[in-house]
Every structure is written in structure tokens, then in C-alpha cells.
Amino acid sequence: MKIFDRRFAALAAAGSLLFLASAYAQNDKTADKSATAEKSAANSAEGAQPADSTTQGAIDVGGQHIAYTAVAGTITVGSTDSQDRQLGADGKPLPGSQLALSAPKEPADAPPVARMFYVAYFKKGAKAEDRPITFFYNGGPGSSTVWLHMGSLGPKHVITAGDTHLPGAPYRMVDNPNCLLDVSDLVFVDMPGTGFGRLIGKDAGKAFWGIDGDAAAYARFIERFITKFGRWNSPKFIFGESYGTTRSAVLANLLENRYDTDLNGVILLSQIFNFTTDIDGPSANPGVDLPYELGLPTYAATAWYHKKLPAQPAALEPFLKEVEAFAMGPYAHALALGTDLGDAEKQQVAERLHEYTGLPVAYLLKANLRVSGPEFEKTLQDDSGMTTGRLDTRFSGPTLDPLSENAEYDPQSSAISSAYVALFNDYVRSTLKYGDGLTYVPEIYGETHWDFKHHGNPVSVNVAPDLAQAMKTNPRLKVMVNGGYYDLATPFFAAQYEDKHLPIPQSLAKNIQYDWYESGHMVYVRDEADKQLHDRVAGFIKSTDSASQ
């Protein structure tokens, strides 16, 4: 999942986003008219809704030879419930509906709609009621689902071995031995405005690009998908990564309590619910020190991996338990004291932080014991002129500006993104037979102004109450939390903290399962971790779906 959370995270904590916009001006009227006509023709071609494409494939997983049908297409959802309920599964107005009876409207006057692109994989010969179905999506917000689709549990897998920048094309894609088709049908869904999906209508972005509008679009997509393919009686799971976990909390509550659709399970990968715990920009929210405490174990794991610790522990996980205890004990106490912290205690804490992070004691004291994620990424390997990765801190790359205070790019994202985008564009056209003449949009960072108000709350983002309500209204709902030790976009210890503080009865805490991996934000880019992810998710689904009980 290539998701640049940092592009919104610091400002998201304050409840707002600012993005740059660009415009072209032309002085020559003839050239302007020509460009306008050309753009209109291009929009017309891209605006046409292609027919679904159905192809056949097979995959060997865990000793099983699984024949499957793949369907690539779009499903149209309206920006309001009333409008969406007048659309059929093909995206056209239902006969007799107000939309069908009304006179045609100009696109600028029509209510906004979104065509959401998806690729679904169905095991042949399976009955709907006996076959779970899992909906996958990345986050951003602003990302397509190309990363989960081509890297995690789909039929194809992009090879990204190692922790360095890949060589240029040709890249390698293989049949995925960790494909989840052995236990579930799979649907990879792109958020509105990405992939081969398109937004239609005036201010369509405002209708769909926000916490509430986005989750509502996904809820409507799922409702119409299970109608189109006759999957109402199938066990249902949602699988979100990064901001996709934020979406999942809201979406689960919508499905459970607005659409009367029980989920069997919610699978979370690289979770963030509470944006006030974000380690990217905590200095913008002084007095809230949780980000530093919850990010410390990831700093320690990263320093351990790069062998930057004064004394290198033999094993990672026992070391992390020690760091977690310090983070929530002496470290939390020292930060809570604020300006009342004495020099002696401050020195002691700085020395312990040095032992756990490898950062110089003088630097830690100068930082007042509080080091943000970007500062850590810039500083850890500064002596060798290298910047540490954010999405996956195992990765490193040359520092852009040696005098900068913060990391200025993410080496992991730069290392693998081209391979994912190139191979998907080839695969979708050559194998899935979809997208000729169309542009696949992998991400729309810089184009979106995301509305972070949730239920009208402009102060901060915390969707934990949504998941808690879904769990309380459906006490059988199970939740699986996955995260990487080397993830500084959404640290694993922060996810654990969030879920252990869900406002749910103690009796429901047993419904939550935790799984950690020696990998980063995209845990599946490491082959060993992808195998673990498959086995654990498969076990979760088999133990959770009603068909197996």
C-alpha cells in the first residue's frame, strides 16, 4: 500500500488539510480553443463507462489448485442515499425511479456520482452461502488499491525482495503462493477518483472526499456489489490498510447499523483511528505526549535493525517488551511533568532513550526528550548521509538536504512504487482485458482536499467510537489487528493502545486479535511476512465466518 499519510497527517490532527492547486493560462485564443476541444474529447472518451471484463485463471495455494473467475469493472454509487437507491447494480437509473423519469440534466447540474473500479476473484464451483467474500482497500486518503492488490493476498505478487531501491524495468510479477483464494473470494476496490473510477457531476470531489462521504460510498458499493453478484448470504469481511483502517471503523458501523448488514470480521492492517497519536507532527499539538510514547518501540526496532544501538540485543521482541514498559512508565511520567521535570531525571531518561534509539544524548536533551518521526528518520543514519524510511524503516536512501531537520522523502516508497504501478498497468490490460484507452490513476495526492470532519466534529479525528458501536451492536463481530514493527507511518504500539482503549465492555475485548510482523507498513513486501499474513488471515476467516462454525 503506497500511502503517503504524512501528506495529511500533521494537519489532519488539527482537522484540516491544505493542498496546492495548479491552473494553466493561455494567451493565444486559437490555442486555447484547440486545447479545450482536445480536453473535451479526452474527457468524453474517459467518461464512457466500459463494460465489465470477465476472464479465467488458476492458482496453486497450500496444495490446492484453485480455478477462479476474475471480473474487472466499475459500480456506480450516488452521493446521497436517495439517489443511490434509484440506481441499479449496473449504475443506470431503475425503471420508474425519479432519476429515470426526470429530464436529462447537464453534467454540471446532475447530482454527483462516483464510478468505483474493482477487480473481483471468485473461486469456481463454490456456493455463495459457503464462500466468504473479503473487500480490500488501501487508504491515503487518496490512494487506489493497487498496493494491496499486487502485493498482499491477490493472485499476483510483485517481487520486492530486500530493503533497497529496485532496479528499473523489467520488473518481476509471479503467481502468489500466499493468495487468499484458498479461503475467501476477493474484491479489490479503488476509492472514488482513483484507478479506472471516475467522479461525475459538479463538486463531486466534495461529495466523496471526506471521512463520512468516503465511507458512505464504500457502504453503497458493497451493498450493490453483493446484489449484483448474489452474495447477500455469504460471510463478509472488510480488509483495510492505513487510512483504510480509519475507513473500516466508520464503514463497519454504517453497514451494521444503517444498512442492516452484519460483518463476520474486520481485518485491519497498519491501523490509525486516533490522529492525535500521530508521530508525524506531534509538536503541533503540545501537551499531548502519547505520540512520542507510542512511537518509541518503533524507533527501538528500527535502531535494532540498523545496528545503531549502544548494546545490540540478541532478539527483537523481548527487547520491544522492555521498551514498551519504559515508554508507558518512566518515559510517560517524565513527559507528563512538563517544565516541572528536574535536570537529574531528564538526564536519566535521555540516557535510557539513547540506549533504546541510538540517538545522541545531547540531541535528545536538545529535543526536550521529544523526537518526531520525520526527525528520527533524518537523524538515525545522519552520520552516513542516509535517510531512514517511514513506511518501512528497514529501507534507507541518500539524504536530500544534509542540513534539513526532517526527512524529506520516503525511501521505501521511492524504492518500490514504480514496480507496482508498471506491473499492474500491464496485468490489468494483458490478463484482465480491461482499461484499453483509459488512464489508471494510482493516487490523487495533491488533488484532494480531504474533509476530516466526522459527524460534524471539526476538532479532531478519532473513529474508535465507530468500531466500538459496531462491536457492541453486533457482539459476534471479530476484529483482527495487523501491524509491522518497522512502520513509522502508523506505529504498531499505537494501534495496540487504540484498540485496548476502545469504549467496549471487557467481555468484547476477546473479540480482538493482534498480530505483529518483522516488516513495515506494507508488511507483505517481505516474503516471510506475506506468508505469515496469509496464514493468520486465513485462520482468522476460517475461525470467524459462520459457514465454518
CA angle 251, 210, 408 (to 5 degrees): 110
CA distance 199 to 342: 57
pLDDT number for residue 186: 98
414-441 pLDDT per residue, tens = 999 999 999 999 999 999 999 999 999 9
**What is the C-alpha separation between 522 and 331, in angstroms, rounded?**
29
Overall size of the chain counted in residues: 549
Percentage of the chain lying above the pLDDT 90 cut = 77
Higher pLDDT, 246 or 459: 246
Cα separation, 101 vs 106, in Å, equals: 15
> Above 60 in pLDDT, residue 546?
no
What is the secondary structure of 488-535 as a DSSP string?
Answer: SSS-HHHHHHHHHT-SS-GGGGGGEEEEEESS-SSGGGSHHHHHHHHH
Give 327's DSSP letter.
I
Distance (Å, whole) CA 269 – CA 319: 23
d(CA 197, CA 205): 13
Confidence (pTM):
0.89
pLDDT band at 313 (very low <50, low <70, confident <90, very high): very high
- Grid cell listed for 38: 482536445
pLDDT at 456: 75
The cell for 168 is: 528499473
Per-residue pLDDT at 44 exceeds 70: no
Residues with Cβ within 8 Å of residue 384, at least 6 apart in sequence: none
Give the residue with greater pLDDT, 26 vs 53: 53
DSSP label of 328: I
What digits encode the pLDDT tens for the residues 69-91? 999 999 999 876 655 655 555 55
- For cell 432519476, the residue is 99
Q: Is 142 helix (H, G, I), strand (E, B) or coil?
A: coil
Q: Which three cell numbers stand for residue 545?
A: 465466518
Whether 542 contacts 510, CB under 8 Å = no
- C-alpha 285/C-alpha 302 separation (Å) is 25
Q: Are 263 and 475 in contact (CB under 8 A)?
A: no
Rounded to whole angstroms, how far apart are CA atoms 173 and 425?
12
Which of 351, 372, 357 has its CA nearest to residue 307? Answer: 357
C-alpha atoms less than 13 angstroms from C-alpha of 362 in its C-beta half-sphere: 0
124-172, pLDDT tens digit by residue?
Answer: 999 988 999 999 999 999 999 999 999 999 999 999 988 989 999 999 9
180 and 134 in contact (C-beta within 8 Å)?
yes
pLDDT above 80 (res 107): no
What local confidence, expressed as pLDDT, does residue 79 receive?
Answer: 79
Task: Say what the pLDDT of residue 89 is.
Answer: 52
Give the HSE-up count for residue 523: Cα atoms under 13 Å, Cβ half-sphere: 29
Condensed to tens digits (0 to 9), the pLDDT of residues 252-308 reads 999 999 999 999 999 999 999 999 999 999 998 999 999 999 999 999 999 999 999
The crossing angle, in degrees rounded to 10, of helices 290-305 and 343-357 is 40
pLDDT band at residue 483 under the 50/70/90 scheme: very high
- Please report where in the chains the cell 514504480 appears, as a residue: 418
Q: Kindly report each contact of residues 45-49 with a partner whose C-beta sits within 8 Å and lies 24 or more positions away, as own/partner.
A: 45/437, 46/198, 46/438, 46/439, 47/198, 47/200, 49/74, 49/76, 49/91, 49/115
Residue 233 has pLDDT above 80, yes or no: yes
Question: Cβ neighbours of residue 165 under 8 Å, at least 6 residues apart?
Answer: 397, 411, 414, 415
pLDDT in tens, 324-371: 999 999 999 999 999 999 999 999 999 999 999 999 999 999 999 999
259: exposed, middle or buried (C-beta count within 10 Å: 0-12, 13-18, 19+)?
A: middle
CA distances from 72 to 113, 144, 433, 483, 515 (A): 19, 14, 8, 29, 31
Question: From CA 8, how far away is CA 449, in angstroms rounded?
Answer: 9
Domain boundaries, the chain: 6-15+51-276+417-548, 278-412
CATH of 6-15+51-276+417-548, one of 3.40.50.1360, 3.40.50.720, 3.40.50.150, 3.40.50.1820: 3.40.50.1820
Give the whole-angstrom CA distance, residue 196 versus residue 495: 32
Is the CB of residue 8 less than 8 Å from the CB of residue 141? yes
CA gap 190, 244 in Å, rounded: 11
Number of neighbours of residue 262 by Cβ within 10 angstroms: 16
Band the pLDDT of 8: cuts 50, 70, 90. very low
CB contact set of 325 (below 8 Å; sequence gap of 6+): none
**237 bridge partner residues:** 134, 265
Assess whether pLDDT exceeds 70 at residue 7.
no
pLDDT at 157: 97
Q: What is the dihedral of CA 481, 485, 491, 495, to 10 degrees?
A: 20
**Residue range 374-402: mean pLDDT, rounded:** 97
pLDDT number for residue 34: 38
Percentages helix, strand, coil for the chain (3-state, rounded to 5) are 40, 15, 40
